[in-house]
Amino acid sequence: MTYQSQIIEAGTAIGTEPNWNGIEPESVARMRLQNRFRTGLDIARYTAKIMRQDMAAYDADPANYTQSLGCWHGFIGQQKMISIKKHFGSTKGRYLYLSGWMVAALRSEFGPLPDQSMHEKTSVPALVEELYTFLKQADARELGMMFRDLDKARDAGDAMEGKRIETAIDNYETHVVPIIADIDAGFGNAEATYLLAKKFIEAGACCLQIENQVSDEKQCGHQDGKVTVPHEDFIAKIRAIRYAFMEMGVDDGLIVARTDSLGAGLTKQIAFTRAAGDIGDQYNSFLDCEEVEAGNVGHGEVLISRDGKLMKPRRLPSNLYQFRPGTGEDRCVLDCIHALKNGADLLWIETEKPHIGQIGGMVNRIREVMPNAKLVYNNSPSFNWTLNFRQQVFDAWEQEGRDMSAYDRAKLMSIDYDGTDLAAEADERIRTFQKDAAREAGIFHHLITLPTYHTAALSTDNLAKEYFGEQGMLGYVKGVQRQEIRQGIACVKHQNMAGSDIGDDHKEYFAGEAALKAGGEHNTMNQFAA
C-alpha cells in the first residue's frame, strides 16, 4: 500500500465519524507506516518467507549465503541493523542470531551463568521481543525523518523533491529481519518445548534452533561433558516445535536441528528398539560395550542383546552411558539425516574447530541421503581462529613438502609469526572462510554468537583506560564522540535515537500548535547538525 493510499484509507475511516475532530488522515497514515508490524506473529510470518526465499536462492547458487550476528540487547541489535543499512544499503541476507549462552551470561535474573540451560525459560523469547521492539523503533525513527523531509519539501514548494521522498517512503526497507533463536535443548519434555516454542513465535521468532542434548545435563557446545539423547526423544521435540508453528499460523516457520554428537561421548539412556537396524538400534550400536557370559553378570548391571550376544554397556558412576571413542562423526551424520527426515529444515553440527574439510566431509555424507541438506554453522569466538588457521596452513604446506623449519607448530600464536607468509595466508583463509564454507561445505547461514559480547567489553576497556587515566575527558571525546561524528554514527544524536523526535511528532498530532516540543533551538542535539 502506497503512502497516498494509506492517507485515503485513513481519511475514509475518519470520515465516517463526525465527532473525530482534529484527527488528520496523513498523521494516521504516518503512524501506521511507522508501525508496520502490529504483533510478533506478523513479524514471524514476514521473516519466515524471507528465510524460505533465501534458502531457495542458496540452493540455486551457494554464493547466495546469509550471515547472522548474535546480539544480547535490543539496542545492540538495532545499532547493528542501522549500521548494515548505512554501509551496504540493504539488510538482505543479514540476520540476527540469539543464543541461550548470551542470555545466560548477560540477561539472567540470577546474574551471569554458564551455558547450561540454567537461565529462566522465558528469557530468550523476552529478548526476541525486545530486539524487535528496538528494530521497529529504528523504522519509526527513520521514517519520521523522511516525513519531516517531505514537509520541508512541501513548504519550499519543491514538488519534484516531494515526489522523490514519497517514492522512497513507498519503497522503504524495514530494519526487521529474521532472528534465529536458540531454544537450547527444549527445557524439559516435549510438552514444555511446545509451550516455550509458542512464546518464541509470539515474540516474532520465525526460526528455532534446538539441540540433541539432554535438558537437565545440557552443556555449552565448546565445553566437555555433553550428553545426547536418543533420536526418538529429539524428534518428539522437533515435532512439538512444528506443531507450535502450525498452531500459531506460521506454517513455514523453520527448525534448525543441532547435533552435539561430535564432542559428546555420553548418553543418558539406552534407546528403545523394536527391530534390528531401526533407529534405536543404530543409536545403541555406538555404545561402548563388552561381551559378558550369562552366568557372569554383576549385581545391578544393565545388559543388551546385540547380534545374538549379551553385551554390557559401559556405565559411569553418574549413571550415564559411554559411546565408543571415534564414533562422533558417524553419530553426527546419522543425527542429521534422521532430523531432516523428521521435519528439520536446517542442520547445525557443533565442531571443535573451524575446518572446512571436516565440515564438508560430513555434509557430503549427509547429502548422499538428503541432497538438499543445508548446514548452519557457529562461527564461534570460542575458537582461536588465528591459531587454528595457522596450524591448517602449516599442515597443508608441510604436506606439499615445503621447508617448515622456520616455524614451530606449537607456538604459531606467537606475535613473532604475525608478519610471516604463513600468517598472511592464514588470515586470507579466515577472510574467505564464509564464502568458501558456503561453496564447499553446504553452509547457508553463518551463525555468530558472541562478537557483540566481546566488542562491548573491548570498547568499555578502552574508554575506562583513557577516561580514568591521563586523557580524562579527551579519552571520551577523541576516542568515542569524535569518531561517531566522523563515521556518521546516528547514535551521536542519542536523544533522537531514543525517540525524542518521534515524541515531538506525536505531540503535534495530538495537540497541534499547542504542542510543547523538545526539539527547539536549545536542544543540544543541534550541536551535531554540522
Q: Among 60-64, 227-231, 464-468, 519-523, which stretch is predicted with the lowest mean pLDDT?
A: 519-523
> Per residue in 186-220, pLDDT tens?
998 999 999 999 999 999 999 999 999 987 666 55
Rounded distance between C-alpha atoms, residue 452 and residue 429, angstroms: 23
Answer with the residue of higher pLDDT: 217 or 384.
Answer: 384
Instruction: Provide CB contacts within 8 A for 495, sequence distance 6+.
Output: 518, 523, 524, 525
Q: Given this model, what pLDDT does residue 489 score?
A: 87
Q: Given this model, what pLDDT does residue 185 score?
A: 86
Q: pLDDT-derived band of residue 448, with 50, 70 and 90 as boundaries?
A: confident
> Per residue in 20-31, pLDDT tens?
999 999 999 999
> Per residue in 51-82, pLDDT tens?
999 999 999 999 999 999 999 999 999 999 99
Q: Given this model, what pLDDT does residue 281 score?
A: 94
The catalytic site residues sit at: 220
> Furthest-apart CA pair in the chain: how many Å?
100
> Per residue in 251-268, pLDDT tens?
999 999 999 999 889 998
Q: Given this model, what pLDDT does residue 515 score?
A: 77
Which residue has 511446545 as its cell numbers? 194
Q: Given this model, what pLDDT does residue 306 score?
A: 85
Predicted confidence (pLDDT) at residue 318 exceeds the cutoff of 90: no
Q: Among 46-60, 82-96, 139-153, 474-488, which stretch is predicted with the lowest mean pLDDT?
A: 474-488
Predicted confidence (pLDDT) at residue 530 exceeds the cutoff of 70: no
Q: Given this model, what pLDDT does residue 5 score?
A: 97
Q: Given this model, what pLDDT does residue 263 score?
A: 87
Q: Given this model, what pLDDT does residue 219 score?
A: 57
Which amino acid does the sequence have at 349? I
Phi/psi for 89 (5° steps) reads: 80, -10
Q: Which DSSP letter does residue 323 get?
A: B
Output the average pLDDT for the chain: 92
Q: Given this model, what pLDDT does residue 136 score?
A: 98
Cell numbers at 332, concatenated = 553426527
Cell numbers at 298, concatenated = 554383576
Cell numbers at 408, concatenated = 614451530
Classify 94 as helix, strand or coil: strand
Phi/psi for 392 (5° steps) reads: -65, -40
State pTM to two decimals: 0.93
Predicted confidence (pLDDT) at residue 221 exceeds the cutoff of 60: no
Name the CA dihedral angle for 456, 459, 461, 466, rounded to a multiple of 10 degrees.
Answer: -150
Q: Given this model, what pLDDT does residue 218 score?
A: 62
Q: Which DSSP letter does residue 480 get?
A: I
> Per residue in 38-50, pLDDT tens?
999 999 999 999 9
How many Å is the Cα radius of gyration of the chain?
Answer: 28
Predicted confidence (pLDDT) at residue 396 exceeds the cutoff of 80: yes
> Per residue in 333-369, pLDDT tens?
999 999 999 999 999 998 988 999 999 999 999 999 9
Phi/psi for 306 (5° steps) reads: -145, 120
Predicted confidence (pLDDT) at residue 294 exceeds the cutoff of 80: no
- The whole-number average pLDDT for the span 302-323 is 90
Q: pLDDT-derived band of residue 293, with 50, 70 and 90 as boundaries?
A: confident
Cell numbers at 170, concatenated = 513507498
Q: Given this model, what pLDDT does residue 222 score?
A: 53
Which amino acid does the sequence have at 180? I
Q: Given this model, what pLDDT does residue 215 score?
A: 78
